[in-house]
Amino acid sequence: MQRRYLGLTAAAIATTMTATLTGCGSGSGGDVTLQLVAADYGSGKSNASRLYWDQLARGFEKKHPNIKVDVHVYSWTDVDKKVAEMVDAGHAPDLAQIGAYADYAAKGKLYSADQLLSIPTQANFTPSLEEAGEYKRVQYGLPFGASTRRLFYNKKLFAQAGISGPPQNWDDIAHDAQLLKAHGVKMPFALPLGPEETQAETLMWMLSGGGGYTDSIGKYTIDSPENVRTFGWLKDDLVGKGLTGTDPAKLDRAAAFKAFADGDVGMLNGHPTLMKQAEAKGIDYGTVELPGPKGKAKATMGVADWMMAFKQNGHRAQAGTFLDYVYSDKNVEKFSGEYGLLPVTTSASQAMQEDDRFAKMHGFLQQLATAEFYPADKTSWPLVSKTVKAKMGAAVHPNGNPSGVLTEIQNTADAADNAAE
């Protein structure tokens, strides 16, 4: 609490200074155009993120006629690379809504949250997300869209296999997967450890087994006994017994989600957007907290994408004014509802929790406060994530060596961490 109080005090000072120097951030010194690069969360033209941003920008400009917002939206495949190219070329955008912030923060290229936001806006972020946006105990990453993970199961396939309810622990998963396999289900348990999003599936299982990527002080613990035990179990009790239906190293998350929506998967770990995908295909599904070896997992994985403001163009006050508008309840709730994501602010989360229209989101939302995130505050994380994507799938192959693979990734992580110091 003391650290948060001090941070908000700094925010108050920064806000006061901004108001004094720039007329409360209204752009009173002349017209300013903010350039925003954002990621596309839409599934097609009808709900492309450009539609959301265009409407938001026009609403903001009506209230602040001296500040224009020029929005450029790119696919998730391209957006991080596009921002990196702009920064490297010396033409950083004023604002970027992308997947990682730590490297830019480490190089001193970003404004901190308390240099940008009003006190009410900064104080309103969900605490777990605010902390996940910190680099060296200063918040530079502003959370923008969040999700947690739960285990999805196909109720029809479970009933046909004689399974009365969802699994509660790992033994249940293996037992239920055997029954599903016996009833001809193509993928009793879909385990996507292909290169698309391996780092996510890996963390979910690490947390299920009582481990994780790092310890409480941020040191990598990739080859911990808990993680070795977890991936040994996956190798021997799921993959080795033919209960995944396919080689996990060749299965991407998107393909696994599609297979679930097509009725070919009994169980898998998923995030909220899978609900719409499954419902569109008429799948009767349920969700449950991630099972652990003996009961519920110690935590689930949380994921957040990040908004950040670059210093290069000197538009701190105008960017802060725009971000206060972006993080208003109305806009946060609209974005979350449109794209099946969790709100990143306390007030919008409370509103969703009290709204029966979002009843299926409530389980995901309740987990957010205790969710664990990627170590995105470490500049070594991009390399570690890339290494996990390249290697973890093979670790659970029947001929794989989970301990050896985890140790190899640990060595890469340690070397990257040491190089960053």
Domains defined for the chain, CATH in brackets: 2-147+303-370 (3.40.190.10), 150-300+380-420 (3.40.190.10)
Task: Read off the pLDDT of each residue in 71-84 and give the average, rounded to a whole number.
Answer: 94
Task: Read off the pLDDT of each residue in 33-38 and give the average, rounded to a whole number.
Answer: 98
Q: What b-and-e string marks burial along 219-256, b requiring 16 or more CB atoms within 10 Å of the CB?
A: ebbbbbebbbbbbbbbbeebbbeebbbbbbbebebeeb
CB 172 within 8 A of CB 179: no
Contacts of 418 (CB under 8 A, 6+ apart): none
pLDDT band at 47 (very low <50, low <70, confident <90, very high): confident
**Spatial separation of the C-alpha atoms in residues 271 and 146, rounded to whole Å:** 10
Q: Please, how many CA atoms are within 13 Å of residue 252, restricted to the half-sphere of its CB?
A: 5
Give the other-Cβ count within 10 Å of 133's Cβ: 27
β-pair type (67-74, 32-39): parallel
**Spatial separation of the C-alpha atoms in residues 109 and 92, rounded to whole Å:** 9
pLDDT of 24 > 90? The answer is no
Two tokens, residue 181? 């396999």
The burial class, CB within 10 Å (0-12 / 13-18 / 19+), for 119 is: middle
**Percent share of the chain, pLDDT over 90:** 86
Q: Please, how many CA atoms are within 13 Å of residue 44, restricted to the half-sphere of its CB?
A: 1
Which one has a higher pLDDT value, 21 or 166?
A: 166
**Spatial separation of the C-alpha atoms in residues 269 and 191, rounded to whole Å:** 8
The single residue listed with the structure tokens 């808990």 is 226
β-pair type (138-139, 134-135): antiparallel
CB 93 within 8 A of CB 38: no
Strand segments, DSSP code E, in 52-135 are 67-74, 95-98, 134-135
CB 222 within 8 A of CB 408: no
Q: What is the mean pLDDT of the chain?
A: 91
Reference 376, options 199, 205, 126; nearest CA is 199
Residue 46 has a pLDDT of 85
Reference 248, options 127, 89, 392; nearest CA is 392
Residue 44 has a pLDDT of 80
Give the other-Cβ count within 10 Å of 183's Cβ: 15
List, for residues 198-251, the tens digit of each pLDDT value: 999 999 999 999 999 999 999 999 999 999 999 999 999 999 999 999 999 999
Two tokens, residue 394? 């093979």
List, for residues 159-202, the tens digit of each pLDDT value: 999 999 999 999 999 999 999 999 999 999 999 999 888 999 99
**Spatial separation of the C-alpha atoms in residues 322 and 316, rounded to whole Å:** 10
Two tokens, residue 24? 């409360």
Weakest mean pLDDT among 6-20, 37-51, 168-182, 258-272: 6-20
